[in-house]
Amino acid sequence: MRPGSRAVARGLGKRIAPLLLLLAILALLGDPRGGGVQAGLIFAIGVAMHAIVFGAARAMSTFSPAMLRTAGVWGVCLAAGAGVFAAAGQAFGFIVVDIAGMPVSIGGALLHVAAFVTMGGVAALVFLCLAGRATPLDGAR
Alpha helix (H) residue ranges in 55-105: 56-62, 65-87
Alpha helix (H) residue ranges in the chain: 3-30, 35-54, 56-62, 65-87, 106-133
Contact 112, 47 (CB under 8 A): no
Report the share of the chain in percent with pLDDT over 70: 73
Question: How many structural domains are present in the chain?
Answer: 1
In this prediction, residue 13 carries a pLDDT of 77
Q: How many residues does the chain have?
A: 141
Residue 97 lies in a domain: yes
Residue 108 lies in a domain: yes
Residue 140 lies in a domain: no
In this prediction, residue 71 carries a pLDDT of 92
SS3 call for 96:
strand
Residue 141 lies in a domain: no
Residue 15 lies in a domain: yes
Please write the tens of the pLDDT for every residue from 72-118: 999 999 888 877 776 665 555 556 666 667 666 667 778 888 889 99
Residue 27 lies in a domain: yes
Residue 50 lies in a domain: yes
Q: Give residue 21's domain range.
A: 3-133
Residue 138 lies in a domain: no
